[in-house]
Amino acid sequence: TGKAFVVSFGEMIIDFVPTVSGVSVAEAPGFVKAPGGAPANAAIAAARLGGHVAFIGKLGADEFGVMLAGILKDNGVDDKGVVFDDTARTGLSFVTLGKDGERDFMFYRNPSADMLLRESELNLDLIKRATIFHFGSISLIEEPCRSTQLAAMEIAKKEGALLSFDPNLRLRLWESPKVAQALIMEIWKQSNIIKVSDAEVEFLTNKDTVEDDAVMNLWHPELKLLLVTLGGKGCKYYTKDFRGTVNGIAVKAIDTTGAGDAFVGAMLRKIADDQSALQDEEKLREVLRFANACGAITTTKRGAIPALPVEAEVLELLER
Ligand code: ADP
């Protein structure tokens, strides 16, 4: 079918979010559970906005895994690519919320089911139908998931999908910053759309601010769009022919968990529908205003997935 189809690959886990903000994980009086995992968040963000979306990943055959699969379904995400692992548990992460709504993570990986997806378990039909194939970097940290992701990327590309990469760097999970940087740059060179945060671009360019020239040093021939998110300030965009900034939308942020994923989901949903936005600056700015609004709304509510908006909420904020 000719319908745009976004396929997102990677981890879906449970986030434990502290019941109060501004404390470390150790100081938190308690946690509430919320579904999370960047690629799953992005898939659900795109689906809530009316996109045709599938998620590919592995869950534990435990209560959390069943709950997460239900959340994909409830949000209209195609879950035919979801596999359950009989031995490993669903991944968990403990989130710390700073007073400004910024967050940090601690992970349960022993290993967790999401790292155990095998190439033989890939749903090739979904991958071959993808308009955009999206992935992160946590699934690159360990085998067998790393090889599975590399294989899926290759199939998607061969079948004509655009590859979309959000490194979503969690440095502490990697053996060393050097190892992380090397592998991320390897994936980077194969990707057509990349979204990074300002902190990530600073890490990759070895600078302490976002410098356009340094960012352009990361350019490569496959790349069609590079996005750098700037928190409340919005985002920068870079293409072969034009670059600029789209300002963020002022809201009262209480929890930024999932803002980047909401931004990515919104951007993918729009670009899958109309790829001419990759060449047309006015169209691209329209897409990014929409994505900024989607990210902004997500910061005004607790948790990642529960905070993701539907299209009407985004349009309402844009018209205000
Ligand atoms: P990440 O979650 O990847 O670190 P950011 O925090 O930069 O990404 O947020 C992604 C997007 O969400 C931003 O580009 C912006 O559009 C929106 N956003 C994030 N924080 C805020 C905020 N405090 N106020 C308004 N919009 C925000």
Domain ranges of the chain: 6-312
pLDDT tens-digit map of 133-149: 999 999 999 999 999 99
Instruction: Tell me the H-state helices in 25-136.
Output: 38-48, 63-74, 124-129
Give tens-digit pLDDT for 161-189.
Answer: 999 999 998 888 889 999 999 999 999 99
- CB distance 234 to ligand 1 below 6 Å: yes
Specify the ligand 1 atom closest to the Cα of 199. 4
The number of helices, as runs of H, and strands, as runs of E, in the chain is 10, 13
State the DSSP H helix or E strand holding residue 151, giving kind and residue range, or none if neither: helix 145-158
Q: Give me the pLDDT at residue 100, please.
A: 64
pTM of the model: 0.96
- Residue 304: the pLDDT is 81
Task: Please report the pLDDT score of residue 1 as a whole number.
Answer: 46
Q: How confident is the model at residue 101 (pLDDT cuts 50, 70, 90)?
A: low
Give the confidence band of 24 by pLDDT, cuts at 50, 70, 90: confident
Across the range 147-164, mean pLDDT stands at 98
What are the tens digits of pLDDT across the range 191-241?
999 999 999 999 999 999 999 999 999 999 999 999 999 999 999 999 999
Peptide bond into 111 cis (omega under 30): yes
Mean pLDDT of 286-312: 94
Q: How far apart are the first and last CA of the chain?
A: 37
Note the pLDDT tens digit of each residue in 49-67.
999 999 999 999 999 999 9
pLDDT at 171: 83
Percent of the chain at pLDDT > 90 equals: 80
Q: What's the pLDDT score for residue 298?
A: 96
For 31-41, the pLDDT digits (tens) are 889 899 999 99
Q: Are 191 and 163 in contact (CB under 8 A)?
A: yes
Mean pLDDT of 280-302: 96
Residue nearest to atom 21 of ligand 1 (CA): 232
179's enclosing H/E stretch is helix 177-188
- In short, whether 45's Cβ falls inside 6 Å of ligand 1 is no
Per-residue pLDDT, 287: 98
CB of 136 closer than 6 A to ligand 1? no
Please name the residue whose Cα sits nearest to atom 8 of ligand 1: 260
Instruction: Output the CATH code of domain 6-312.
Output: 3.40.1190.20
ipTM passes above 0.85: yes
Q: 6: part of which helix (H) or strand (E)? A: strand 6-9
The phi and psi torsions of 195 (rounded to 5 degrees) equal -120, 125
Between the CA of 88 and the centroid of ligand 1 the distance, in Å, is 33
